[in-house]
Amino acid sequence: MPVPASHILVFSLLLFSVGVLGVLTRRNAIVILMSIELMMNAANINFIAFSQRLQNMVGQVFSVFTIAVAAGEVAVGLAVVLALFRNRDTVYVDEVHVMKG
């Protein structure tokens, strides 16, 4: 028995809302990056749900590309956070005003 599309969309909405809440309320750069990943995964769930509903593979292919871009974003984001920690000894975005070398 397949899961109804409305249930998948509500789950995606809740996941995206948790991601937005994390971005807006947290100060730790690592938690903010994880919240952005949650929002991207919610979008991927929507792509796959609509792809399944329309019997079209375009949404699934687009989700694979989004996951590949997210992997690159994680690598660059982690490098920025590590550089930030080495230079400022903190990963809290409130305490970092200027990033200059």
pLDDT for 68 equals 93
The segment with the largest mean pLDDT, out of 10-19, 30-39, 83-92, is 10-19
Residue linked to tokens 């005003």: 97
pLDDT for 2 equals 83
The domain ranges of the chain are 5-95
Q: Domain spanning 5-95: which CATH class is it, in words? A: mainly alpha
Task: Give the closest residue to 10 by CA, choosing from 45, 61, 59.
Answer: 45
Residue linked to tokens 């690592």: 30
pLDDT tens column, 29-82: 889 999 999 999 999 999 999 999 999 999 999 999 999 999 998 899 889 888
